[in-house]
A and B are shown apart, each in its own frame.
Chain A
Amino acid sequence: MYVSVKGGEAAIDNAHRLLADRRRGDRSVPALTLDQIAEQLVLGVDRVMSEGSLYDRRLAALAIKQARGDLIEAIFLVRAYRTTLPRFGFAEPVDTGAMLVERRISACYKDLPGGQLLGPTFDYTHRLLDEALDGDPEVEPGETREGATEPVSRIADILGGEGLIEEEISGNDEPDDINQTPLEFPLSRAMRLQSLARGDEGFLLALGYSTQRGYARSHPFAGEIRIGEVEVEVFMPELGFAVPVGRVQLTECQMVNQFKGSAKVPPQFTRGYGLVFGQSERKAMAMALCDRALRAGELGEDIVAPAQDQEFVISHCDNVQATGFVEHLKLPHHVDFQAELGLVRTMRTQFEQAESAMENKEAAE
């Protein structure tokens, strides 16, 4: 006998039509424009770019609009779009030292070359809701200050001069790409950083927090956080040299951690690194904490906590993969469920039979 296994087409069509209707909401309220999203919900756009692993503000804004503000859905849309485009090549590694800095702070040094530049930060706000924003109040442009600006030097250059911090020396310039190389643990640091860069902010934040609370303590200092634009250069074979193709905004976090020495190396600070698209220092800091925790093996530390476990962290940090597997539970499992139901019924029958056999035996005695 055949049972019905098809159906729902009309229901699905109508559900999508209803989704479009609800997305638009009350028609007497003006529709959101992509410019409004890209200009006024910038940090949401940045998160979608970073976890969608695609730098394109307008596409991210479109995804947010289409996803009704569900950022993980928007990230999913961006990831899917990305697979439709050919890859032209690789950019030269960006020089964050030459960043046009909009914000730079260090928790290690008070006075450092370039100074503490607060930039557009939520820090020091009182986290009180501003009811004026219920309307459209006039907003003053940012204050300006004249005078020559010092070059903003890196924290590692200050500490590095004395050999007090591990040096990061350029070497392999052809890192493996997680899009093209199957994940085989242990991963290179380059592949881990790529995974973390597009990893879920909430997941990495929680893991970073766990390291602070004692699960793989690494005693971190925010050595430096900088946000700003860097030039992107792409090698063009037809020209024979790299050409600048524009700028991207990045957030970089240099975490300075617990020192370590050995018979060969004198004690020195170790480092964790975070680099993400847009303005997202929470994510960059969490990434740096996780990067440092994941270096446990390399630095000869005991692997005792989740944040140090590569397979655990990297396999679960991707929210598109995670949502795919969690949400697939919504798909019809009717046949699986029938099988389980049959199994439970059989087991119950056996259980009842065993029980009544026991009772009969007791009665007989």
Chain B
Amino acid sequence: MSILARCETRRLQGLWAKLGLDPAYKLLRGPECGLVMLRGRTGGTGEAFNIGEATVTRASVKLDDGSVGHAMALGRDHLKARLSAIVDALCQNVETASLINAEIIAPISRELDGADEKRLMQTAATRVDFFTMVRGEDDAS
């Protein structure tokens, strides 16, 4: 769900279309947009406090075989929530789960990790390397 929540809708749509699955489903809820209150902790580790809200969109679906899928992601993208819920429902079945993992989750996960890696490397290039100047009198002895 972490991967689906973070992926771009167009990418998910593309991979989904390639998979060629088209299960019949019923929407149990949504897709609907709402808010969640984000929380932090004082000093990073102390008591919880509210920072402010974020938009989220959620959806729940039921496939004809009875499996139920849920999705919730930051933002206001109904299509993404709906597709993610269907994918989640399909993952209840062991066979389709491995197919989905291989064809959808794994490639998106690799791309997201790659983007993180690039960011970390760019940040690493801005790390300060301190060096110490050695003054003349120190090596006189």
Contact = CB atoms under 8 A, between A and B. Distances in A.
Q: Do the two shown chains form a genuine complex with each other?
A: yes
Interface of A: 49-50, 53-56, 58-59, 82, 85-94, 96-97, 100-103, 110-111, 115-120, 141-147, 149, 154, 156, 166-175, 177-178, 189-191, 193-194, 197-198, 231-232, 234, 236, 238-239, 243-248, 250, 252, 254, 271, 273, 275-277
Interface in B43-94: 43-56, 58, 60, 70, 72-76
Contacts of B41: 93-94, 96, 168, 170
Interface of B: 1-2, 5-6, 32-56, 58, 60, 70, 72-76, 116, 118-128, 130
B35 A86 contact: yes
Nearest to B118: A144
Contacts of B43: 156, 166, 168, 254, 271, 273
A145 to B, nearest CB: 4
Contacts of A55: 38, 52-55, 74
A231 B37 CA distance: 14
B78 to A, nearest CB: 14
Going nearest first, the 5 A-B pairs with the smallest beta carbon separation are A168-B46, A168-B43, A246-B74, A55-B54, A190-B49
11 contacts: A54-B53, A54-B55, A85-B55, A86-B34, A117-B124, A144-B118, A189-B49, A194-B49, A243-B5, A246-B6, A277-B52
Contacts of B53: 53-55, 82, 87
Contacts of B121: 144-146
A88 B59 CA distance: 12
A96 B124 contact: no
Given A143-B125, A246-B6, 17 more contacts: A55-B54, A88-B58, A90-B39, A91-B37, A91-B39, A144-B122, A144-B124, A144-B125, A154-B44, A173-B47, A190-B47, A193-B42, A236-B70, A236-B72, A244-B5, A254-B43, A254-B44
B50 A177 contact: yes
A94 B39 contact: yes
B128 A234 contact: no
Nearest to A276: B51
A128 B1 CA distance: 46
Contact of A232 (B38, B76, B123): B38
Contact of B123 (A87, A89, A117): A117
A339 B138 CA distance: 85
Contacts of B45: 97, 156, 167-170
B127 A117 contact: yes
Contacts of A101: 123
A270 to B, nearest CB: 10
A100 B119 contact: yes
Given A238-B70, A248-B38, A174 B48 contact: yes
Contacts of B73: 245-246
A16 B56 CA distance: 32
Contacts of A197: 50-52
Contact of A88 (B36, B119, B122): B36
Interface of A is mostly: mixed
Given A170-B48, A175-B47, A85 B35 contact: yes
Given A82-B35, A169-B45, A236-B70, A117 B126 contact: yes
Contacts of B40: 93-94, 96, 193, 250, 275
A315 to B, nearest CB: 18
A273 to B, nearest CB: 5
B50 A178 contact: yes
A213 B128 CA distance: 31
Contacts of B70: 236, 238-239, 243
A97 B41 CA distance: 11
A90 B42 CA distance: 17
A146 B60 CA distance: 42
A101 to B, nearest CB: 7
Given A142-B122, A154-B44, A273-B43, A234 B1 contact: no
Contact of B44 (A92, A96, A142, A172): A96
Given A82-B35, A146-B121, A245-B36, A190 B5 contact: no
A168 B35 CA distance: 28
A295 to B, nearest CB: 10
Given A97-B44, A170-B46, A178-B50, A90 B37 contact: yes
Given A144-B125, A245-B56, A170 B74 contact: no
Nearest to B49: A190
Contacts of B128: 115-118
